[in-house]
Every structure is written in structure tokens, then in C-alpha cells.
Chains A and B, each alone.
Chain A
Amino acid sequence: MVEFVMPILGADMVQGTLVAWRKKPGDRIRRGEIIAEVETDKGLIDVEVFVTGVIAELLVAPGATVPTGTALALIAEEEPAPVRVGMAAPAAVQPVPSTAAPTPRAPASSGPAAPGRLRISPLARKVAETLGVDVETVMGTGLGGSITREDVERAAAARRVMTEGSSDTRPLRDRVSTRTEPVLAAPPGMTVEPEVAARMRRTIGAAMARSKREIPHYYLATTVEIHRAMTWLADENTRRPIPERLLPVALLVKAVALALREVPELNARWVGDRVVPSEAIHVGVAISLRQGGLVAPALHDADRKSLGELMHAFRDLVQRARTGGLRSSELSDPTITVTSLGDRGVEDVFAIIYPPQVAIVGFGRIVERPWVVSGQVLPRSVVRATLSGDHRVTDGHRGGLFLAAVDHRLQEPDRL
């Protein structure tokens, strides 16, 4: 019998709320399948199991908030498991077997959500709870049919009108307050949105403070001339229909992933008091959430995906990061993170490493600058690339080789 416990989905996570079970006692479950939906400060996450077996007992009811490591269910396993299901130690990210090779993980799908899954943002779900609305009955008008806060408020208003009657003859749409106005029927003084955002901000703050305290960071920066890459990209996009167009970030992420093959010490995790290298290259991509907050889920095997596959996976991650539905493996699997602040106008970003990773790569805004080409000064597209490294694991020399490798890869965009 194996325990499925509340997983640690980020170095800073101390508790989570079990929102829904996807399996019941007696159901078979396979490694990599989703067993439950858990709400955390990173949003609503689909949690996967690491064993194959039959669900024996569910120990915790939906709605319960429990500390990480708490047993949530019992699974009668069909194959021997060397470690507990889920994350046992705060520093460990995945069960590490006693053999040298990392356990091959179940293929993570970045395709459509499981059929029947309710797409609803954590905020909307919270509002629904407050207003007493059954989310199963709400029609979703958000991205991908997801249920937004406005949908829930409309449903609550509609129900109130029906039960209480109203002499207001305006169309319902005009009576329901939406967008920036306070939640309908909320107790006075209570606002849901700022509370959720504030909690996420506090969690991120705690994680970043801890990272700065415990990891001796060193910082490197370089300017990469990417004129050839940008020209290639523009040309490539004229041939691609709009749903398949590439963004520069796809090239940057692929270049990072390939460069990690040359400097693999940067593609690892710090576990306990030592570094554990990773064979697979899972690049975490920092995604900002529209109401504030940040998640950095993994693009799995980024070195082996084509640019088109990376774009598709990235867009899917962005959608699920914002509307709920990220998988626990996507939060725990990154072996390095890439953050790109180019859109907001800064040229250099010196990021803080996400433990248990050992490095983070930053890219700034792609700009036109004077550049010397064969003795002449010409306008060229350039981008600043930075590396923040854990000095316990690598030093500036290796970090410098890595950035040089990224640069070289970006000089041959057709080989990305």
C-alpha cells in the first residue's frame, strides 16, 4: 500500500487545498495519470501519481486544506515503488531511485484537458463558493469555454432575480456588475481578488527571499547579435499560417535547451546538500499572470522539440497558467528557468534562481543597436542574455561557456 500525499509543487509551498478527486476507490490508476485537482497559490493544478495500482481509500474530502506531505489517499500498488508517492522531503522534487539513471517519467501531455474537466479559474471558484453558486451549472464564456468570475456573478444575479423577483426591467446584462466593480452580494469590506493576488505575492516573496538567502548567486551578462535569427524568423513567419507563427522566445528557449547539452552542470537540481544532474532538459518558462503573480511551468524535453512544437506547448502553458489546469509535473519538473522581460522594455534582467534549480537565464528586449560588422558600423538586432548561477554548482567560467553556446546557437536559426 502506498500513500498519495499532498505534493510540494514549488519550493515555497506549505499547504494545498484538495478541490476535487478524479478517481474513486476501486478505480485503476496508472503512473502519470491525474488523481486530483489541488488549489495552490500557483492556481488550480492537476496532480499526477507516480505509481500504477488501484485506489484503495480516499482519506481527505474535497475542500480540505492540508499541509504538504499529508496523506490524501491510499493506493494498492501493482509494482514495487522504492519511494513514497508524491514529494516526501521539502528539498526533493521527484522521487529519486537508488539506481543511477533517473526514473523515466510518464509522457506529460500538453494537449487538450481531460474530457469532462471543468475549466474554471481559482478566483471564479472562490467567488462561486462565496455566492453559493454551483459551478457545474455555470456557462463559461472565457478562453476555451472556461468559467470566469463574471460568469459566476451573472449566474448568481440571475438566480437572485428568479428567486426574489425584481421590478427592474433592464436586461440582465445591464444589471449585473462586472469587471472592476466589487463582487455582487459579497459581505461588506470583503474583496476576493486582492486577497488572492496578495497571497500569491506573499508566497512568491517568501520563495525569492529564501532563494537569495540560501543560494550564492553569481551573475553574467552578454549581448547577443541576433540579426540573422530575426531575419530568418520574419521570413519563416511569412510562410506560416497565423496559428503556427513563431515568436522570438521560441528561438531563445531552444537555444538555451541545446546549449545545456554542452554545459550540463547548469541543468540540475540541488537536493539536500548536493547537486543531482538531470538527463532530461525541461525548461521552465516564466509566465506572468494577468492579475499579478508568476508561475514558471516546464516545457518538457525542450531540446528535442521543434520550434513549432515549442510554440504550441508554450501557448498551451500560458492558457492553462491563466485559467487553471497546469499539471503538477509541469511545476516540479523544470531543470532550469528562462525569463524574458523583453516586452516590457527592459534590456537586462538578473533573475533569482527558483530552488531547487541551479541557474536561471534572462533575456531582455530585442533592440536595434549600432554593431561593428567587418569594420563597419551597421544597425543590428541585439538582445541581452543573462545567467544567474548557483556558485555551489558552477562558476563564472562554465557559466560563460554556456552563454557563448547560446550565442552560437542563435547564429544558426535554421538549425534550432
Chain B
Amino acid sequence: MTRDEILATVLRVLGEIAPEADPARLAPGLELREQLDLDSMDVLNFFVGLHAALGVDVPETDYPQLTTLDACVDYLAARLQ
């Protein structure tokens, strides 16, 4: 999977959780939780969505690594190799 495909998937999953947000307006280097006002349920649903879409099970201890869009893509790209 290319980085662009991973990014598209991440944005799609985020769109299901925060449908009113504009993905084009997300800053790739800033915290997603802040930009999208995500609560802990949203965060869990985000990881459940990623698991369903990409087959990647992110352990709880790894959650802090996926705070920004860039960080998400980096992590998932590494796991999918």
C-alpha cells in the first residue's frame, strides 16, 4: 500500500467519526484529537476503523505514537510492510 493510499484510508475512517470536518483542512503535523475534538470513544472507534480497513491491530501502548496524520501514516506504513 502506498503512503497516499494509507492517508486516504485514515482520512476516510476519520470522516466516519467526524463527518462534519473537512479533511483538506487537517494540518498533518498537528494533533488530531485537538483538531477534530475527539473524545476517548472517538479515538477507540478510530483504531477499530483502522483495524477493519487495514487489518492492523494497534496495541493500546502504541496509541501515543499516532497523534498526528503524519505520525499515523508513518506507523501504519511501517506495520504494513
Which A residues are within 8 Å of any B CB, using their own CB? 142-143, 148, 150, 178-180, 234, 237-238, 241-243, 245, 247-249, 288, 290-291, 314-315, 318, 342-344
- B58 contacts A242, C-beta separation under 8 Å: yes
Contacts of B20 in A (CB 8 A): 179-180, 290-291
A148-B19, A249-B40, A344-B39 known; 12 other A-B pairs, CB under 8 Å?
Answer: A143-B17, A179-B22, A180-B22, A234-B60, A234-B61, A241-B57, A242-B58, A245-B60, A249-B41, A290-B37, A291-B20, A314-B41
Contacts of B48 in A (CB 8 A): 242-243
Which B residues are within 8 Å of any A CB, using their own CB? 16-22, 37, 39-41, 44-45, 47-48, 51, 57-61
A-B contact pairs, 15 of them (CB 8 A): A143-B19, A234-B61, A238-B60, A242-B48, A242-B57, A242-B58, A288-B39, A290-B19, A290-B20, A291-B20, A314-B41, A315-B44, A315-B45, A343-B39, A343-B40
- A142 contacts B60, C-beta separation under 8 Å: no
Known contacts A180-B22, A234-B60, A237-B60; A245 and B44 CB within 8 A of each other: yes
Task: Pick the residue among A179, A234, A315 that contacts B41 (CB under 8 A).
Answer: A315
A-B contact count (CB 8 A): 50
Contacts of A242 in B (CB 8 A): 47-48, 51, 57-58
- B40 contacts A179, C-beta separation under 8 Å: no
Contacts of A247 in B (CB 8 A): 40-41, 44
Known contacts A179-B20, A241-B57; A318 and B44 CB within 8 A of each other: no
- A238 contacts B45, C-beta separation under 8 Å: no
A148 CA to B21 CA in the complex, in Å? Answer: 12
Contacts of B51 in A (CB 8 A): 242-243
Min C-beta distance of A340 to chain B, whole Å: 9
Task: Pick the residue among A150, A238, A241, A342 that contacts B19 (CB under 8 A).
Answer: A150
Min C-beta distance of A195 to chain B, whole Å: 15
Contacts of A342 in B (CB 8 A): 40
A343 CA to B37 CA in the complex, in Å? Answer: 10
- A290 contacts B18, C-beta separation under 8 Å: yes
A143 CA to B52 CA in the complex, in Å? Answer: 13
Contacts of B44 in A (CB 8 A): 245, 247, 315
- A143 contacts B16, C-beta separation under 8 Å: yes
Contacts of B21 in A (CB 8 A): 179
Contacts of A143 in B (CB 8 A): 16-17, 19
Contacts of B59 in A (CB 8 A): 238
Q: Which residue of the partner chain B has the closest CB to A240?
A: B60
Contacts of A178 in B (CB 8 A): 22
- A318 contacts B41, C-beta separation under 8 Å: yes
Task: Pick the residue among B16, B22, B41, B57 that contacts A142 (CB under 8 A).
Answer: B16
Contacts of A238 in B (CB 8 A): 59-61
Contacts of A318 in B (CB 8 A): 41
Min C-beta distance of A386 to chain B, whole Å: 19
Min C-beta distance of B49 to chain A, whole Å: 9
Contacts of B37 in A (CB 8 A): 290
A178 CA to B15 CA in the complex, in Å? Answer: 12
What are the nearest 7 A-B pairs in CB distance? A179-B22, A343-B39, A242-B51, A143-B16, A237-B60, A242-B57, A148-B19
A5 CA to B48 CA in the complex, in Å? Answer: 40
Q: Which residue of the partner chain A has the closest CB to B16?
A: A143
Min C-beta distance of A69 to chain B, whole Å: 35
A288 CA to B42 CA in the complex, in Å? Answer: 11
